[in-house]
């Protein structure tokens, strides 16, 4: 009986037909411009990952290199120059996929200066993607969101499920969505790859229809392998079926 129940649970917890990412059309969070952050190291790495994303069903990639005040000091010029090189290689190899670039901004003092200067990379209809430290909430978070929205940016918080300081304060997520902040879930969180806590929060956000964008956060082969596994997660199918996912509108 114990073995039977274990088998039954396994069947219940895994999709028999994996999700085809063609339904999403667009991935909006990845690190595919070689050599400028902790993502793809070489053009060969980048192209190999892009080919695999195409096989998974994606038609368009919006890659988002890190911009951090003290670590990855990328600029729009560096990112867009790298994008041109990747596009040229995609065309040379006849890969049937589109690629664009924005950025994943770390919310820090440097970001606030860039915001004032008006030099921000966005995607789609003026969406801007930002992240925070995993150690503590940015002290001026509320003010920065307000200022961005006043400048007509659509504010997207990357991987909210990974901020452990909010795991016991779920009301914080509701506060953000009530203010018009879009939440972007990392698909790999659904396998528990980052942590069990991140998986629990990710599923709770999906169950409450609070997710607007799904991203791979693709960096390298290990992320890709986990993304392939994630296609069998029932919570991924639930997010696509029940949440208002915006990927295919970008």
CB burial string 179-190: b at 16+ within 10 A, e below: eebbbbbbbbbb
- Measured in degrees and rounded to the nearest 5, phi and psi for residue 207 equal -60, -30
pLDDT of residue 12: 57
Nearest CA among 192, 141, 134 for reference residue 164: 134
pTM: 0.93
pLDDT of residue 2: 45
CATH class given for the domain over 22-249: alpha beta
The domain spans of the chain are 22-249
Q: How would you write the pLDDT of the chain (250 residues) with one tens digit per residue?
A: 444 444 444 555 789 999 999 999 999 999 999 999 999 999 999 999 999 999 999 999 999 999 998 889 999 999 999 999 999 999 999 999 999 999 999 999 899 989 888 889 999 999 999 999 999 999 999 999 999 999 999 999 999 999 999 999 999 999 999 999 999 999 999 999 999 999 999 999 999 999 999 999 999 999 999 999 999 999 999 999 999 999 999 9
């Amino acid at each position: 009986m114990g073995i039977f129940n274990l088998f039954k649970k396994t069947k219940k917890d895994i999709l028999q037909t994996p999700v085809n990412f063609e339904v999403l059309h667009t991935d909006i969070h990845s690190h595919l411009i070689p050599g400028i952050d902790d993502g793809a190291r070489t053009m060969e790495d980048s192209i190999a990952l892009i080919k695999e994303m195409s096989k998974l069903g994606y038609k368009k990639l919006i890659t988002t290199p890190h911009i951090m005040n003290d670590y990855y000091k990328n600029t729009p010029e560096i990112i867009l120059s790298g994008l041109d090189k990747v596009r040229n290689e995609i065309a040379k190899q006849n890969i049937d996929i589109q690629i664009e670039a924005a950025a994943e901004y770390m919310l820090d003092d440097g970001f606030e200066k860039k915001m004032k200067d008006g030099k921000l990379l966005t995607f789609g209809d003026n969406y801007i993607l930002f992240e925070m430290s995993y150690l503590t909430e940015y002290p001026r978070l509320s003010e920065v969101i307000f200022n961005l929205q006043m400048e007509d940016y659509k504010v997207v918080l990357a991987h909210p499920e990974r901020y452990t300081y909010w795991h016991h304060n779920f009301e914080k997520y509701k506060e953000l969505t009530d203010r018009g902040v879009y939440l972007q879930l990392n698909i790999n969180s659904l396998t528990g790859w980052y942590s069990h806590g991140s998986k629990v929060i990710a599923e709770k956000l999906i169950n409450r229809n609070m997710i607007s964008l799904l991203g791979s956060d693709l960096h390298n082969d290990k992320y890709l392998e986990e993304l392939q596994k994630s296609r069998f997660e029932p919570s991924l199918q639930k997010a696509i079926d029940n949440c208002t996912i915006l990927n295919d509108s970008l």
